[in-house]
A and B are shown apart, each in its own frame.
Chain A
């Protein structure tokens, strides 16, 4: 019993690391640019396909292809921010929601046309390897993914807290108008935030590739989880998103273990609905205003 429980928690934490990369991206964009990127999951998908093609065409290990997927998606993020998102920033919700939503639909269905709905996998030397510690089973590929995800989250934290650009981003997320009065160039900050968020999604894709299949709809799994985590962890709060993502991973894994194989999502949504009912501003919110 305790071993099963511990195993479920470990499984949840390991996948929760990937959820964290996706939700930190969502929350970063929300915090700084004040829009919700519905297409975040599709950039995970693109990261996966980049790694898949580099692995099958050039034999590059998915973990190495991180150095390709992250910059490519960073650039994509800067361009998308500059040419699309910038045009709909304003008080009106509708264009913002449906622009990124349309982007999500477009990327998803383009990849369906280009790559078909087939599941693509990459087999690496460590794909089947696992450590046995006590009675516990720890797959190496997932452990690496988790460790790299945590390291990237840590780097982001350092970036946000020690560099001028990072501080500018945090300032813009706290109060955009005052930040602009202090001489912060909002377009530059927005572009970097969007690029960084997409780079994190790309990293998540590459890290997933050794143990997860790529298919056009794969991003939907992660983006739903990320949205739940971002709401639970308080919108725009990077630390909250990280903690909530790990919790989501564990909750999903416990649901699968103790309620049934298809119940992971139900548990996650139940948590979301409970959060909305009792702490609508999220767990990371300061009480009062």
Chain B
């Protein structure tokens, strides 16, 4: 959007104030829970979008990194008493390292088969953690010991504190995306996404750039995994490596606007709000309704607005509010 510099800062400042004040204004725990989900999945979507949106490497296996982050910090905390704040960074590093061999394998494939290979790697990790009974509790999983109010162990009595933690994560994710977007790496990523062979032909080192961005994306996704485990006080392979995490990471970005800074955030707001409304209307009695609605939204976006809600909003803006000069 072509807003002038000052206007942009004004909007950001208003946004920041609203976001900081929100948990003080709306104190219902149900609402804060929804806000936390929105921020968390926005953050995961932002991490996915770096790889999937800009470079069009459509992964459906980001649960691999979510789970690795969750398990690294939990194993360090439960078995060795190390703070999840440290564990979170450690989990990010583990995910980064894991992304190297996974990327080495999956990047051999392009398009849909890259997607399938990423699904397979997340599944393999889940199966492996089901097998690790000695230090990772196998299929039963484990609960995180509740220490009451222990900010140094990432445990808070107030839900709003979790809100601020995940808000911080999202801001970091958006800032990193913004930095990448406006640097030469951002243009290289878009070039790879448009046509990888052509990008390589003009001298873009595609394998290296994909590898580096995949590492950043994995690192950020792992942070989300640690946060989520701390928030729900529980971990098992089925939740940590859940396919639905991989799905939602991609979905929110596509629905909001793939390869845009704010796309994942807007997509998450729409999807999570829809899901919360459905739940309050129908209760959680009807299994499958949430994903049925998600998939219909996804189909509608793909068939009618492949640029997502952001693309739609930009079109409307230019058509009715400020006419854009015709493109050359």
Interface of A toward B, CB cutoff 8 Å: 35-36, 38, 84, 87-88, 92-99, 101-103, 105-106, 108-113, 116-117, 216, 224, 227-228, 231, 235, 262, 265-266, 269-270, 272-273, 276-277, 280
**Residues on B with beta carbons closer than 8 Å to the beta carbon of A111:** 288
Q: Which residues does chain A contribute within 8 Å of B303, judged by CB atoms?
A: 84, 87-88, 95, 99
A32 to chain B: closest CB distance in Å? 15
**With the chains together, A36 CA to B302 CA distance in Å?**
16
Does B316 make an interface contact (CB < 8 A)? no
B299 at the interface (CB under 8 A from A): yes
Q: Are B302 and A113 in contact (CB under 8 A)?
A: no
Taking a contact as CB atoms closer than 8 A, the residue among B113, B130, B298 that contacts A235 in the complex is B113
CB pair A262–B288 under 8 Å, yes or no, is no
Cross-chain contact B302 with A95 (CB below 8 angstroms):
yes
- Determine which residue in B60, B109, B112, B299 has the highest number of CB atoms from chain A within 10 A of its CB, and name it: B112
Residues from chain A with a CB closer than 8 A to the CB of B299 are 84, 99, 102-103, 106
Specify which chain A residues have a CB less than 8 angstroms from the CB of B116 in the assembled complex. Answer: 36, 227, 231
Of chain B, the residue at the smallest CB distance from A260 is: B131
Q: Are B127 and A262 in contact (CB under 8 A)?
A: yes
Complex CA distance for A159 and B290, rounded to whole angstroms: 42
Contact A269 B302 (CB under 8 A): no
How many A-B Cβ pairs are below 8 Å?
119
Which residues of chain A are within 8 angstroms of B211 by Cβ–Cβ distance? none
Chain A residues with CB under 8 A of B105: 273, 276-277
User: Top 6 nearest A-B pairs by Cβ distance?
Assistant: A112-B288, A36-B112, A109-B288, A105-B295, A106-B295, A102-B298
Contact between chains at A98 and B302 (CB < 8 Å): yes
Q: Does B98 contact A (CB under 8 A)?
A: no
Asked if B291 is at the interface (CB within 8 A of a chain A CB), the reply is yes
Closest A residue, CB atoms, query B298: A102
B112 touches A113 (CB 8 A): no
Q: Name the residue of chain A whose CB is nearest to the CB of B293.
A: A109
Could you tell me if A109 and B108 are in contact, using CB atoms closer than 8 angstroms? no
CB pair A105–B291 under 8 Å, yes or no, is yes
Q: Tell me the B244-303 residues at the A interface (CB within 8 Å).
A: 247, 250, 254, 258, 286-292, 294-296, 298-299, 302-303
A276 and B108 form a contact (CB under 8 A): yes
Given A95-B302, A105-B295, A269-B124, list of 6 further CB < 8 A pairs? A36-B116, A88-B302, A105-B291, A216-B288, A266-B127, A273-B124
Contacts A117-B287, A262-B127 hold; do A273 and B120 have CB atoms under 8 A apart? yes
CA distance A273 to B306 in the complex (A): 32
A277 to B108, CA, bound (A): 8
User: Which chain B residues lie closer than 8 Å to A97 at the CB level?
Assistant: 58, 111-112, 115
Residue of A nearest to B195 (CB): A91
Contact with A along B101-130 (1 / 0, CB 8 A): 000011011011101110111011001101
Q: Is the CB–CB distance between A280 and B292 below 8 Å?
A: no
Bound complex: CA A276 to CA B299 (Å)? 31
Interface residue B56 (Cβ < 8 Å from any Cβ of A) = yes
Partner of B120 from the list A87, A116, A224 (CB cut-off 8 Å) is A224
Check B287 against A113 for contact (C-beta < 8 Å).
yes
Chain B residues within 8 Å of A265, by CB: 123, 127
- Residues of A within 8 Å of B121, CB to CB, are 273
B306 touches A94 (CB 8 A): yes
* Structural contact, B292 and A110, CB atoms closer than 8 A: yes
Report 19 cross-chain contacts, Cβ distance below 8 Å, ordered by A residue.
Answer: A36-B111, A38-B112, A94-B258, A94-B302, A98-B58, A98-B302, A103-B299, A106-B299, A108-B288, A110-B292, A113-B287, A113-B288, A117-B287, A231-B116, A262-B131, A265-B123, A266-B127, A269-B124, A273-B105
